[in-house]
Each structure stands twice: as structure tokens, then as C-alpha cells.
Structure 1
């Protein structure tokens, strides 16, 4: 048994297998999940990592030991699990470590209707109860009743649901390159794109949790190189990169240039506001300042929130927001149970591109206003100390304001940056933005010098 406090994060479970997260732990979490949530039936899915299937089976043993039935959907993306939870009105658990390296695995949990379970909404209680179960000798020491296990294939239903939300049948024919990174996009893209006016070039669709070609983490520029080259080589209209569990999608334009998720957020927000005038749009505090400006210009109400899917989903539900976007390429939709779906965001971009004859870069120029650094990670032993050094560096300057909604946000005339600790890794994450590239680079480099000193 590992240290549960180490692997239970703010809104999911994440740890190295088997040193920090093993089948015994997953089984105890399964029992605790049922006890804490009161679930009578739960739906379970898993990604392609070698450890995911056995961990999901262990969780199922724990859940059924407490009398709950389990619907096993087998292989799936995280947004397929949200579809299952929403369409079946069941609590759900996804086994994945998303973009983390192969040695990791984890769990994302939700209540019925894809309502997230985070540290403030049950995850801490599940952690504590699982620790008690492990300490008392394991799941078998408290068997109440045996639930049943059934299997259900929901991939076609998931694809049909997304295609009903964004109709791509009438768009012009597009050349699309998709890099699945050997992750779950290789499982879902072929079914979602089947029969659409899309000429698909597939990169790394073979499911392989060892990620033999590159990590399935599109936020890191080096993981986009193959996709960028392929877009240029085949003369594609667009490139799409999914992370390991395919709940995030990164966009490459026809020039092979990476597109900021803030730009995609602004584009999709404008599309949703055209259907829902005056609606609320959520953006986290790291997205470009251009996002709330564009939302307001399209008649919407922008609402700023902290980073993290459980926080954003809760704020979306509270405000009945129609859409939300994050800097990390997570996109949330009211029509998708307020949950995030990289595939649904990709379909919105394909629709925007296919409904007109302009290139993607020309379309997106209308939604890009500032120079941004993108997310830059620094491995830091003392995250608190490094953040305090940055605070001291900027706090005494004129015309500077500090904000601690999530990490440290510092704003000055024409620029801002946010420095926040990762919830899953020993990293500090920096995002900086300014009116132009020169000013942005100056702020970025000054902060990094202090963080890494």
C-alpha cells in the first residue's frame, strides 16, 4: 500500500504503478467509492495502459463487495466515460493517467450525470475510507453483499451523440491529420469520423501504453513535431493531437503552426454564443485576456475561475454556462453534461473550418490578440519558496497587482503572468502574456530566472 495522501490530488488520483498505486489500493478505493457515494451501480472504463485493465478489475471487486453493480465499458476515452455517466445517469470511474508517462496510472471519478468528484466534493472522504479499509486488512474484511458485473459497448452511442451536437455532414471536404500518440484517440477517432467528409491521415493510432513514438502530451511542443511535419507533407487543412485519454485536443493550422487553446476557446465560445445569445462562458485564469474580451463583444458573460476540471465543472453548473475553456486544451460543454471533451472541441473547429473557404489560420486570426508564452514547466524542489521569491521580486513595483485565486497571478501595464504548482507533479507552471512578443519574452525570462535560481 502506498501513501494515499500522495496519490489523491485535488481532482483525481495519480501515482506510479505499483509503488504508489496498486491493485490492492484500487480495490479498497472501489469499496470506499460505494460507501461514500452510496452508488448502487457504477460505470467503469479504462485506457490502453497495461496496468489499467487490472486496476479497473480490482476496483470492480471492491465496488461489488459492497453490493454495487458495475457496468464495464472496457476501453474508452475519458469523455466516453463522461458520456456513459451522463447518458446512463450513473456514477463513473475512469482509469487513466492522462498525459503522464507510462509508469503512472490513476482514476477520475464522477457522480451520476458526470458531476465531478474532487477534494472538496467527496474525494478526500473516499481517500480516508480507503485508507481505513487497507489498515483493517483489506476489502474482504468487510464484505456486505456481492454486486453483479455486466459489460456494455458504448463507443457507437458516444460517437452518435457527438455528431448530433455538431453536424459535420454538410461541410466541405477537409484533409485532416490526427496524432493519437498511441492513446485512446486511436480508438475513438475512427468511429466518430466514419462517413464524414474528412480525408484522414492517422498517426500513431495503435494503442500502446508505453508510448513508443512520443508522450501523449500535446502541451509539450516536442510532442507535436511529427504532426506538424505531416500536416505540411500532405497539405492538410488542419492537424489534431490528442492526449493519452483523449479528453484534450491540440490544434495545428495548415502552416504547421501550433494554435493556442485560448484561441480555440474564443472560437468555440463565439459559436456557442451564436446559438445561445447572452450565455455565460467560463475561462480559467490562465487563458488569454483576449478570451473575456471576445466573449463580451459577442454578447456573452465571461466568468473567470481557477484551473482544474472539477472546479470549472462546478462553476459551469452553478452559472449554467454554455461552454468553458482552459489553457491546457480542456473544453467543457453544457450539452455534454458540463464535462470536457477534446473530440467535441475538435468537431467545432472542423465545422468552423468546413463551413467556409478560408484557411484555418485566416479564420483564427480573428480570435488571437496577444503574445503568450504557453505553459512552461520548471522542476522545483521547494515550490513555496520559489513562488515567494517571485512574489518579493514583483510586489514592490509600481502599477503591479497580485492575485492568489490559483497560484500567484501578477499583472502589470500590458502584461500578466501566473505561476502555480502542478497538482500531479513536482513542477511550477508558468504562463505569461503581453501586448507583444518582446514584452512577453522579457517578463517570461525574468520570472524563470527567479524560479530556477
Structure 2
């Protein structure tokens, strides 16, 4: 029998090397994230693999799975421990080696394999590890599957089965790159900064963008799992500013930044201005709904209100639904509604046919952006951005809040604003026009200014975003209104960045 995981073991002891350690909070809403060594050990990863194999069988799915790993110093060892557990549970494992996460999603279709387990901590700081999992392409696990997986692993409900096997797919990235680049070359010669923050995308993104016809200016594309300059996260201003500097230095048409596991893409225009991903989504929605009539889009609650108010989208009869933040939630909703695309403010974009297969891929997003520019000859990326109605938007701001307390804090904040709406209280000097509570609370005032508070799904943080179609001052008013409520909760710590 494989031992039941412990929540905590002391390193450099017999127990640490002989028993699984798995901290319960690592099971997130739609994937898993732990501090490696402190919250999970290699035997804990093996237990995760055994539990995932048991869950796949429980779901009635064929026990065959694709796995790959990102470029961190410990990711390969974690993948091998995971595969040991999967094979012990009777799974056939298809190993594609070093990969960006969407390469693993692509492999499910390409190899006709139903399940996926990608070892990645995405853009999290060094020290973190994690696994993105799914058992029904192109979808990944949501809360129901993650809750059941947590029960199986922590209660050691493992079922050792014969029949587990292993297959390595040599030089698999070539198949993924060929799939991405099998398209007509761009008519317009675009000079593109390709920024990877020394993350995994650096191994693949430059050659993909060159193959579609771009002149590539590589920025931090060398693989370095210490992330020596900044975390590969295109929502962080440090990475965006590095891209800005490169765009201006090389007089590039656009800067494209990829996160640590390559499923997100950030954008800087030719003037060196960052365009937050939700605004890029509006631009792409305009472009796509001009070609595909009566298009439906799904966007997350962190995203700009322009998806509803933009006159071009209204004229093209595009419809938009706001939904929960999180790649699994958005992927599922985009799939359920058969939407043309889903856009998340973090930069996860989900394109259904004919553009994509429904999963998030930063390179598919980058290609879509270049093709949008190709269809707008004579216009720069800045021109396309300036054509949008003006709004003032914050970056995603994340105050620290422990995993054990963050959901309770958010529930209290939701109740505060629900009570305020019932009583007719003002927020930032105005009445509440609308509350959206599918994921935290999004408070919209009479003038369209809004603020969001929700719990991060993969880090011990809250998420705060504000926007105003009126002025920068009104954006700051909304931030103050949200922050005042948060500061009544001592569990809420310092922000990673503010406006």
C-alpha cells in the first residue's frame, strides 16, 4: 500500500524521503500549485499521479495521458515522479518532453489522447511547481474534478493497476510548430519584439513568428530557469516596460510577451504603450466579428466594459457574456456557448474554429494579432488601439491574502456591496448601477466606472481591477472605494503593484 500523504514533513529526515507530503491548499479551483520542497515532495507528486490516474478511471475515460514539463530546474524530476504515479495507476503516458502548455493541449488532438497533465507553475515565482490537468479535450479540470482529486490523494484512495506504460515522442515540438505555421505568410512585413522572460516559450516562439513572415527581435529568449531579469508574466509592468524599451529601440511594429508556460500573450504597441489584454481582446473581437457575423464572445469579470458598449461591436451585432476568471472556467464557457472566442484580462485567449481548437495558446494569440494587423494595411497597432473608445484601466493588482482566508475575505466584501446596494449607499460618490457576483464582486457605478475584487485561483492573493470610461481621476476613485473596504480586513496585506 502507498502511504497516506502528510500535510507537513521536515526536510532532511527519513520520513521526508520515505513518505508523501501534500499540502491541501495546493489543490486550486482549476489546477494545482505548490511550493516544491515546502508544501509537496517528490513522493507527494507521485501520490498526485496515482490519484489522477484513479480519477481518470473514475470519470470513465480511457487511461491514456499526455505529459510535458516547463523549463524550471526541478520540473523534469517532478514530471518523472508524476509519471511513476500515473503508470502505477495503469495509465499509458505519452511524454512530449520540454514543452509550453499549449503544446501538451495540441498533443491531445494530434496523438488522439484524451487526458493531459502538464507540469508547470506558469508565471509563478521560482520555487513553485504545479500541474494543469484535463480529461476531456480541449477542457481542463474545474472545481468538481479538483475537489475529487484532492479527496482521492489526501485519503490515499489509490488503485494500483497493471497495464501502465511509457512512450517518449522524440522531437515533438516540430509537429506543434508545423501545425502553427501551416498557413499563408503575412503580406505585411512586421517587425516584432518576441519577449519570453527566459521562460519556456523562448525555445519555440521566435521560430514560429519568423515562419509566419515576421522579422523577429528576440528579447530574453534564452532559457534560464532562474528568471534573472523578471518573472515571465506579461501582466507585470516590469516585463511590459522591458518590451517597451526594445520596441522603441528597434522601431518595431509590435511587442509580444509570453508567460512562463506559453499559454498567454501580452502586447506593447509601436509607440511603446502596453495594451492590456482585455483591450487587445476588444480589438480582436472587432476584427473577427467583421468577418464572422453575429459572433459570440466570452470575457472574464476582470475585463473592460467596452465589450458591451463599443459601437463597432454593437454595429456588427457581436454578443458578449461575462464569466468567471480562470482558464478552465473560460475555456469551458467558451466551449459551452460555442463562442467564436473567449478573452481573459490575464492574456489567456481561447479561439474556437476556424482560428483555434478551443484551448489557450499564446502563440495562436500572437498569430491572430499579426493577422489582424495584416488586415489593416496602413494602420499601426497604436492606431488600432486609439480607435477604441477611451477608458482608463488599472493593471491587475494583487494584495497578499493567505489561501486559508482569502475566500472568507472575498465573501465578506461581496456581502458589503450587496448590503450597500440594498440600502442605496453610494460607492465612489455614486449609486451602484450593477453588481456581478459570478466570481467575487464587480461593482459598476452610474457613470460606468467599475471595480472588481476576487480571490486569486492560483496564488495566496486577492485580485483588484478598476476601470473608468470617464477619467483617470474616476479610476482612482474606484480604487479607493474598493481598497477602503479591503483595509477593514487585517488579513489583506501589501499589493504587488498599484496605480
TM-score range, shorter chain: over 0.9
Indicate the larger mover: 391-400 or 48-57. Answer: 391-400
Structure 2: how far apart are the matches of 1:259 and 1:289? 15
Structure 1 position 131, deviation (Å): 2.0
Classify the secondary structure of the residue corresponding to 2:370.
Answer: helix
**Residues 387, 451 of structure 1: 8 Å contact kept:** no
State the 1:412 CA deviation.
0.9
Say which of 181, 188, 192 aligns to 2:208: 192
For residues 320-372 of structure 1, what are the alpha-carbon distances to aligned partners after superposition, in whole Å with 9 as ceiling and x for unaligned?
11100011111001133321111111111111223412111001222343211
Partner residue in 2 for 1:366: 387
State the shift of 1:3 in Å: 4.1
Q: How many residues are treated as equivalent by the alignment? A: 444
- Find the aligned partners of 2:101 and 2:389 in 1 and give their Cα distance: 29
Q: Flag the 1:254–1:29 CA change in 2: closer, same or farther, 3 A.
A: same
Larger helix percent: 1
Distance in 1 (CA, whole Å) between partners of 2:367 and 2:74 is 31
After superposition, the C-alpha distances for 1:32-84 in whole angstroms (9 at most, x for unaligned) are 22221123211101100111111111111111112221110001111111111
1:74 to 2:90 alignment: no
Q: Which residue of 2 aligns with 1:284?
A: 300
Cα distance in 2 for residues equivalent to 1:296 and 1:82: 33
Matched, 1:44 2:67: yes
- 2:478 alignment counterpart: 443
Which residue of 2 is the match for residue 149 of structure 1? 166
Report the Cα distance in structure 1 between the residues aligned to 2:203 and 2:123, rounded to whole angstroms: 16
- Give yes or no for contact 1:23–1:55 (8 Å, CA) kept in 2: yes
Query: Per-residue deviation at 1:22?
Result: 2.3
Give the 5 Å matches for 1:291-440: 291-294=307-310, 295-335=313-353, 336-355=356-375, 356-380=377-401, 383=406, 384-385=408-409, 388=412, 392=416, 394-395=420-421, 396=423, 397-398=425-426, 399-400=431-432, 401-414=434-447, 415-435=449-469, 436-440=471-475
- Between the aligned partners of 2:181 and 2:101, the Cα distance in structure 1 is 17
Residue 109 (structure 1) aligns with: 133
Corresponding residue number in structure 1 for 2:6 = none
Alignment of 1:18-29 (within 5 A): 18-29=37-48
1:249 and 1:329 in contact (8 A); partners too: yes
- Looking at structure 2, the residues matched to 22 and 276 of structure 1 have their Cα atoms a distance apart, in angstroms, of 49
Change over 3 Å in CA distance of 1:385–1:340 after alignment to 2: closer
| 2:181–2:211 contact (8 Å) kept in structure 1 | no
Please report how far the alpha carbon of residue 276 of structure 1 lies from its aligned counterpart in structure 2 after TM superposition.
Answer: 2.6
State the alpha-carbon separation in 2 of the partners of residues 347 and 284 from structure 1: 22
User: What secondary structure is seen at the aligned counterpart in 1 of 2:67?
Assistant: strand
Structure 2 residue matching 1:286: 3-state secondary structure: coil
Q: What's the TM-score, normalizing by structure 1?
A: 0.92
Separation in 2, partners of 1:68, 1:385: 40
Cα deviation for residue 146 of structure 1 reads 4.2
> Which residue does the alignment assign to 1:241?
257
Conservation of the 8 A alpha-carbon contact between 1:65 and 1:143 = yes
1:179 to 187, 195, 205: 195
Residue of structure 1 in register with 2:143 after alignment: 119
What's the secondary structure of 2:211's corresponding residue? coil
CA offsets per residue over residues 257-285 of structure 1, 9 Å max, x none? 11021111112222332343213211112
The 1:41/1:337 distance shift into structure 2, 3 A limit, reads same
Equivalent of 2:26 in 7, 14, 26 = 7
Query: What SS does the corresponding residue of 1:106 show, helix, strand or coil?
Result: strand
Gaps of 5+ in 1: none
Q: In structure 2, how many angstroms separate the alpha carbons of the residues matched to 1:15 and 1:368? A: 41
Q: Does the CA-based 8 Å contact 2:398-2:462 persist in structure 1?
A: yes
Give 5+ residue unaligned stretches, structure 2.
1-19, 489-499
TM (norm. structure 2) is 0.84
